[in-house]
Amino acid sequence: MALVKLLALAFLLAVPISATDYTVGDASGWTLGVDYNNWVSGKTFQVGDRLVFTYGSTHTVDEVNQASYTSCSSSSPISSASDGNTTITLNTAGTHYFICATSGHCLQGMKVQIPVTGSAAGSPSGSPSTPSPPGAQSMGVSLTSYSMSSMVMAVSSVVVVALGLGC
């Protein structure tokens, strides 16, 4: 069965994996008084990249939808963390919205929106998808499940081929 492992390894190496970790706000971290629009500008975020939030105990990281981002509402977050060091993997294409849930902080600018494009590996057409607010969330989910199922199929076919070769 050594050939199976070899082929599986070759397949894994052939998949481009280039996830990047971004520390939100760089050295300033996640806090008051940072212009996060300025921090985002010029950066390109892809599916699989990770956001690292570092912050003090008076802050939280809440992922919210666009409406809650706009109105600074933390009443129904998608996720919420307050451990001071939060890593969030950008699993779907589209815009991801984060706010601090501490009263008044979001209104004072502690909010950031991250436009995420599909990675080349995860996009069926091969071209990067541009984030579009309406339906972006569901598009990202379908992109992710597409790449998951195609990866499972590819691994299965490698195993089938290897078995067919008689190991």
Q: Which residues bind Cu ion (CB under 5 A)?
A: 59, 100, 102, 105, 110
Cβ atoms of 51 and 25 closer than 8 Å? no
Q: CA-CA distance, 126 to 54, in Å (whole number)?
A: 34
Question: In which element (H, E) is residue 61 found?
Answer: strand 61-64
Q: Which residue matches tokens 């975020």?
A: 45
Q: CA-CA distance, 49 to 3, in Å (whole number)?
A: 32
Q: Which residue matches tokens 């589209």?
A: 94
Report, in Å, the least distance between residue 105 CB and Cu ion.
3
Report, in Å, the least distance between residue 140 CB and Cu ion.
27
3-state DSSP assignment of residue 154? helix
Report, in Å, the least distance between residue 77 CB and Cu ion.
14
Report, in Å, the least distance between residue 150 CB and Cu ion.
40
